């Protein structure tokens, strides 16, 4: 070796040279020297670039009712329900004024958010951030790819395929978007499919992916609570996130989820009521009939929540997806199969070709376009924004261990592709039957009636309306159950198994809001649902933009990002120096440099933006020592049981058994629900 080449320090002289590598730490199998961090400012004496991540169930938490969030959200929504029941006319008047103002002044905002979210997530997926896991470095995926895709599809399919699938494309065919094509023309047929795909495709799933991915990253990579506010800890700071700003975010998330889910429940009730009135010859559907339907289904939800049979209900929801796919398959093979097989690829290509045109529609295109946007596009963007805390939390839970790239691309493109097929089959069939003059079809038929009229024109399926009603009823109950659990989590500081009375409370409020929404309009119309969804989604629309900023800010200080920043700097410096000193004949070797001259020269790794997030704390938020090598807590906390089983003193001896403090031995005032509980 030439004399001027730096030599590696003697490993025997380094106090930590032969310590075992930390499990889950990158380069754990390599023989390399680590600096002595024993007296450093790093939490738990570990460099932030080597932290493997912290899962939510590894951090300790005090799960109690968040009085401010629960009180504010509960009082506001209960007051709204009471107001809507006592004076629906005044609610309708105020909702109309707020709706007109929001769509006239903020329609551009919803359009911009839909575009910005999709573009931002695609940039994130294809950047170096895409390789970061939604979990620890060594985290394995919890569900197989097939199971994951099936659950993604189940999360977003909802009532859409059976309600909007047949009716929405038919509406665009008979009344095309302004300044597009002549009604009932061949061009209008393909534009109808493209417009439907635009509302239910990539943009919608990007909103779900944004909220779900940011929550999953915060919970499974950063060890934070499953709260919307947890996403903003780096952006707002710890004090603001735990204080008023964070609580306000959670309140807005609850309100948005309540109205967004209530709209879905209201649509399900409309479809069920229409089906019941058809199969029983009960006559035209009325608001009173809808209230009775919602009341019966709400009782079913309460029974499932109180009796603990919700797990069985969730199994039924999986069966629901199979039945829904089966219904689509029946329509495909019993309907105009050849026509549909030709329409599906043509409609998809029209969607791709006209996407930028549809994204650019706004008030500047005239009053008719603005009205269309208010009724359809802006309503859908608002609805997806409202649904995003609910659906986002669900897909976050099932996506643990996947990379950000896999999560974003899978969430956006796979369910969208499946929905393109389902909507193409249902919408194409209803349009074909309308053009062929099949009985019951007309240009002005109510949306809930389209699907049952379609079924009535298929052979061999006289029994199908009863199956559809059952599918819709199960959807109502499972959606109310799942959404109520999510809102229960938001009001109990992220408790993944909130108490039943909290879940039931939010389910009742949600059903009450659905009733009020339906009372604002005709029993078969959507005006009341659309107005309130758009108005209540405005605050959370702003939050969506902040989520993008907060997530990117978190990713900039991720251990993976730090490691690759160091690697880029080290490689660049080494190659330049190697060529300068040795020409073609050099190799790379890791050696210590002078302070300020190494790979992390431009990084202040002691800054709290890199170190504060992995400081372990107890249930009261007080720092507790933690050993990343052995995965043990300094105070003897056992993550498996949630108990403090043993406390080791400075002399290395354990105290007497009588001095040990377990969860069962705590006084009532000290009892806590531990962070390792899961749903």
The answer to whether the beta carbons of residues 197 and 420 sit under 8 Å apart is yes
Rounded CA-CA distance 253/73 in Å is 10
- Give me the pLDDT at residue 646, please: 56
- Give me the pLDDT at residue 102, please: 86
Rounded CA-CA distance 644/490 in Å is 27
- Give me the pLDDT at residue 670, please: 39
- Give me the pLDDT at residue 28, please: 41
Q: Is the pTM of this model over 0.75?
A: yes
What are the start-end ranges of the H helices in 557-664?
559-582, 608-611
Q: Which residue has the higher pLDDT, 640 or 601?
A: 601
Query: How far lies 369's CA from each of 176, 362, 375, in Å?
Result: 11, 7, 10
Q: Please, how many CA atoms are within 13 Å of residue 582, restricted to the half-sphere of its CB? A: 14
Mean pLDDT of 515-532: 71
Q: Is 637 helix (H, G, I), strand (E, B) or coil?
A: strand
- Give me the pLDDT at residue 308, please: 59
Digit-coded pLDDT (tens) for 58-98? 888 777 888 899 999 999 999 999 998 888 888 888 888 88
- Give me the pLDDT at residue 525, please: 55
Q: What single string gives the DSSP state of each residue in 313-380?
A: HHHHHHHHHHHHHHHHHHHHHHS-HHHHHHHHHHHHHHHHHHHHHHHT-SGGG-HHHHHHHHHTHHHH
The angle subtended at Cα 465 by Cα 513 and Cα 519, nearest 5°, is 20
Digit-coded pLDDT (tens) for 496-506? 788 888 989 99
643-644 and 637-638: which strand pairing? antiparallel
- Give me the pLDDT at residue 671, please: 38
For residue 171, give both structure tokens: 């509406």
Digit-coded pLDDT (tens) for 567-604? 888 888 888 888 888 888 878 888 888 888 788 888 88
Query: How far lies 102's CA from each of 20, 47, 112, 169, 531, in Å?
Result: 60, 49, 14, 26, 9
Whether pLDDT at 667 is above 50 = no
Residue with the two structure tokens 């029974």? 303
The answer to whether the beta carbons of residues 538 and 24 sit under 8 Å apart is no
How confident is residue 546, by pLDDT bands cut at 50, 70 and 90? very high
Rounded CA-CA distance 108/378 in Å is 9
Mean pLDDT of 282-301: 82
- Give me the pLDDT at residue 313, please: 59
Rounded CA-CA distance 77/89 in Å is 18
Mean pLDDT of 374-400: 89
The angle subtended at Cα 624 by Cα 621 and Cα 629, nearest 5°, is 135
The angle subtended at Cα 82 by Cα 81 and Cα 85, nearest 5°, is 85
Rounded CA-CA distance 69/249 in Å is 9
Q: Count of H helices and E strands in the chain?
A: 21, 4
For the ranges 2-16, 200-214, 369-383, 444-458, the lowest mean pLDDT is seen at 2-16
Q: Is 632 helix (H, G, I), strand (E, B) or coil?
A: strand
End-to-end CA distance of the chain: 60
Mean pLDDT of 155-163: 75
Digit-coded pLDDT (tens) for 440-457? 998 888 888 899 999 999
How confident is residue 663, by pLDDT bands cut at 50, 70 and 90? very low
Torsion angle of C-alpha atoms 517, 520, 524, 526, degrees rounded to 10: -60
Check the CA dihedral 521-527-530-532 and report its sign: negative
How confident is residue 473, by pLDDT bands cut at 50, 70 and 90? confident
The answer to whether the beta carbons of residues 609 and 557 sit under 8 Å apart is yes
The answer to whether the beta carbons of residues 474 and 223 sit under 8 Å apart is no
């Amino acid at each position: 070796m030439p004399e001027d080449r730096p030599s590696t320090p003697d490993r025997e002289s380094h106090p930590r040279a032969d310590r075992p590598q930390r499990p889950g730490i990158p380069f754990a199998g390599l023989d390399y020297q680590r600096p002595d961090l024993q007296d450093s400012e790093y939490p738990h004496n570990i460099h932030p670039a080597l932290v493997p991540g912290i899962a939510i169930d590894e951090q300790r938490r005090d799960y109690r009712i968040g009085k401010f969030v629960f009180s504010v959200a509960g009082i506001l929504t209960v007051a709204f329900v009471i107001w809507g029941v006592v004076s629906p006319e005044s609610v309708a008047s105020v909702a109309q004024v707020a709706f007109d103002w929001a769509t006239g002044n903020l329609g551009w905002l919803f359009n911009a958010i839909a575009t910005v979210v999709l573009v931002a997530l695609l940039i994130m997926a294809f950047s170096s951030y895409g390789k970061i896991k939604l979990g620890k470095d060594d985290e394995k995926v919890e569900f197989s790819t097939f199971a994951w895709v099936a659950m993604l599809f189940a999360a977003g399919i909802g009532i859409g395929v059976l309600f909007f699938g047949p009716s929405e494309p038919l509406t665009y065919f008979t009344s095309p978007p302004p300044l597009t094509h002549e009604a009932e023309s061949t061009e209008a047929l393909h534009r109808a499919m493209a417009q439907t795909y635009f509302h239910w495709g990539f943009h919608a799933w990007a909103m779900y992916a944004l909220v779900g991915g940011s929550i999953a990253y915060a919970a499974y990579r950063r060890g934070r609570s499953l709260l919307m506010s947890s996403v903003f800890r780096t952006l707002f700071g710890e004090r603001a996130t735990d204080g008023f700003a964070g609580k306000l975010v959670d309140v807005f998330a609850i309100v948005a989820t309540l109205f967004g889910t209530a709209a879905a429940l209201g649509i399900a009730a409309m479809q069920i009521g229409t089906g019941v009135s058809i199969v029983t010859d009960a006559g035209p559907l009325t608001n009173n009939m809808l209230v009775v339907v919602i009341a019966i289904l709400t009782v079913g939800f309460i029974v499932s929540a109180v009796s603990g049979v919700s797990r069985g209900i969730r199994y039924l929801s999986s069966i629901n997806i199979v039945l829904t796919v089966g219904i689509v398959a029946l329509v495909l093979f019993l309907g105009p199969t050849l026509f549909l097989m030709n329409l599906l690829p043509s409609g998809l290509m029209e969607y791709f070709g006209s996407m930028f045109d549809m994204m650019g529609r706004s008030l500047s295109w005239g009053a008719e376009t603005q009205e269309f946007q208010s009724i359809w596009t802006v309503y859908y963007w608002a609805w997806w924004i409202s649904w995003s805390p609910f659906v986002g939390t669900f897909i976050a839970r099932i996506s643990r261990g996947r990379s950000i790239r896999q999560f974003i691309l899978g969430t956006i493109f796979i369910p969208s592709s499946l929905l393109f097929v389902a909507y193409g089959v249902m919408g194409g069939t209803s349009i074909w039957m309308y053009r062929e003059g099949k009985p019951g079809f007309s240009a002005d038929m109510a949306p809930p009636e389209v699907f049952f009229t379609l079924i009535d024109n298929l052979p061999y399926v006289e029994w199908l309306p009863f199956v559809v009603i059952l599918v819709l009823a199960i959807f109502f109950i499972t959606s109310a159950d799942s959404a109520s659990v999510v809102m229960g989590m938001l009001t109990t500081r992220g408790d993944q198994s909130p108490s039943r009375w909290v879940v039931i409370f939010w389910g009742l409020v949600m059903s009450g809001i659905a009733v009020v929404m339906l009372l604002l309009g005709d029993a078969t119309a959507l005006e009341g649902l659309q107005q309130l969804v758009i108005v209540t989604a405005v605050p959370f629309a702003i939050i969506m933009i902040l989520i993008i900023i907060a997530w990117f800010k978190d990713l900039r200080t991720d251990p993976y990002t730090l490691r690759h920043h160091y690697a880029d700097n080290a490689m660049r410096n080494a190659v330049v120096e190697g060529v300068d000193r040795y020409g073609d004949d050099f190799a790379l070797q890791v050696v210590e440099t002078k302070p300020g001259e190494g790979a992390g020269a431009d990084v202040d790794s002691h800054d709290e933006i890199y170190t504060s997030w992995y400081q372990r704390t107890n249930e009261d938020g007080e720092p507790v020592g933690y050993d990343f090598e052995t995965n043990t807590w300094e105070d003897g906390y056992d993550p498996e049981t949630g108990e403090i089983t043993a406390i080791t003193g400075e002399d290395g001896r354990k105290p007497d058994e009588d001095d040990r403090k377990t969860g069962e031995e705590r006084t009532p005032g000290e009892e806590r629900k531990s962070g390792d509980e899961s749903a």
